[in-house]
Amino acid sequence: MLIYYGYTEKAAEYLLTRNLKPGDRVVLKLRDGSILRGILLPRPELYSTSNIINIKLSNGYNVGIDISKIESIEKEEVAVTVEHGLIETTMEKKQQGNLPRVTMLSTGGTIASKVDYSTGAVTPALKPEEIIEWIPELTDIAVVNTREIMSIFSEDMNPKLWEKIAEEVYRELTSGVSGVVVAHGTDTMSYTASALAFGISNKSAPIVFVGSQRSSDRPSTDAVFNLISAFIVASKAPFAESVIAMHRDISDEYNAVHRGVKARKMHTSRRDAFQSINDKPLAIVNPLTHELKVIGKIYEYRGEKQPVLKARFDDKVALIKVYPGLQGEIIDFLVDKGYHGIVLEGTGLGHASNSLLNTIKRAVENGIPVVMTSQCLFGHVNMNVYSTGRRYLEAGVIPGRDILPEVAYVKLSWILGSITRDLDEVRKLFELNLVGEFNDRHTLDLYPRWYYE
């Protein structure tokens, strides 16, 4: 089978004979008389057998055009110069040994799946040669190695699996790779990215989580752009942090790189679902030009370092959302069941009903650390403003500053599992900014702009 930038058969031949490559600026004249201008994109769907080529129009939208409807197509000007080989049945493109080595660990999720278009079935994982055939650009970025370490949807992720992922990533980092890409389902990606942030310290290179929000009714998946971006970040970013690389917005122009402990999935389906909360994103990446621009504050730099693995996570920790009517008996149950830690997703500046105060006191008196975060998500917890907050502080609750509830949960699980269960020690560790999970300086532009037009 002829494969050319993910295009196959007729579409591949069509582009190949016209010497057109992804990144080329093209003018199409269609048989219905319309004229389209845009940039040719790589075929986003893996081995699609359709006769459609994908064009990114100047207004940002991507359209798929059936080649039978094209009267003529011409190159306007070369927007990006990239050199790729033609790929026949087996991988002919040599991996270039002088490039950085990047390992992709596949854990499952939408991004690690491929669709068999004849049956509609989803095959669980991509093999190294498959991903390179699909996205030949990757071999211009790195010497690619991939391993499947598990194959699950991310809603089934749990603290024990975080430990396995941490061990595998650690193994790669100590083997001297320039970066690790972790393909992961998006549902709980920010939890796992946070777990890796805490579980491996003194990181030598970036750990880049990447996923895909594709839905089958869209003409294009976001996986190609996200994967290219993830490999760019893994191979050359100056930071050595656990990050998430996903679409910056709904165009296919830039990917955003978020610090894992400051990122959150904020939309159920949009490709730009992941956004940084209470901190600037670390970087933006252009997957066509391979440009990586750091826009945030780096917490840990890449370097010749010996990573340290401390990645045990306590699964007797609960994340409890506070709401009007929350009954103390739920907290009491956790205490009675011997839970080791509780994170509250409180209201406003870090509040819960005064009716729960004694229940929380009892938990703390039982040696259980209780951390307060805010369901507002944006802004700092400040428990000194109102009397309720002060009462909870007096009861021994640990204020979570501007940490996300989900990240507080991961951090507490990590402290209790990997370091200590002594309440005073836990408190001290929780109040330390270990991997950039706290940001004390909020600028006005950390809150997004809402539309009112």
Catalytic annotation present for 279: no
The amino acid occupying position 397 is V
Rounded CA-CA distance 259/242 in Å is 6
Rounded CA-CA distance 343/400 in Å is 9
Closer residue to its own copies, CB minimum distance, 94 or 449: 449
385 lines the binding site for its own copies (CB under 8 A): yes
Indicate which residue of 110, 188, 221, 388 is catalytic. 110
Beta bridge partners of 105: 147, 182
Q: Which residues of 194-224 are buried (b: 16+ CB within 10 A; e: fewer)?
A: bbbbbbbeebbbbbbbbbbbbeeeeebbbbb
3-state secondary structure of 363: helix
* Candidate residues 164, 321, 390, 428; the one interacting with its own copies per rule CB under 8 A: 321
Kindly state the smallest distance separating residue 334's Cβ from its own copies, in Å. Answer: 8
* Candidate residues 174, 386, 428, 431; the one interacting with its own copies per rule CB under 8 A: 386
Closer residue to its own copies, CB minimum distance, 57 or 330: 330
Catalytic annotation present for 186: yes
* Candidate residues 57, 78, 330, 432; the one interacting with its own copies per rule CB under 8 A: 330
Dig out the tokens for 371 from the structure. Answer: 């951390």
Indicate which residue of 187, 249, 280, 316 is catalytic. 187
Rounded CA-CA distance 307/207 in Å is 12
* Footprint (CB under 8 A) of its own copies, residues 21-60: none
**Which residue has 């702009």 as its token pair?**
449
User: Residue 8's CB: how many other CB atoms inside 10 A?
Assistant: 20
* Candidate residues 29, 171, 218, 270; the one interacting with its own copies per rule CB under 8 A: 270
CA atoms within 13 A on the CB side of 300: 25
Stretch touching its own copies by CB under 8 A, among 34-42, 73-81, 379-387, 429-437? 379-387
Q: What does R_g of the chain's alpha carbons equal in angstroms?
A: 24
Catalytic annotation present for 388: no
Rounded CA-CA distance 213/267 in Å is 10
* Footprint (CB under 8 A) of its own copies, residues 210-269: 215-216, 248-250, 254, 256, 265-269
* Footprint (CB under 8 A) of its own copies, residues 388-417: 388, 405-406, 409, 413
* Candidate residues 40, 150, 232, 319; the one interacting with its own copies per rule CB under 8 A: 319
* Footprint (CB under 8 A) of its own copies, residues 107-166: 153-159, 161-162
**Residues acting as catalytic residues:** 110, 186-187, 265
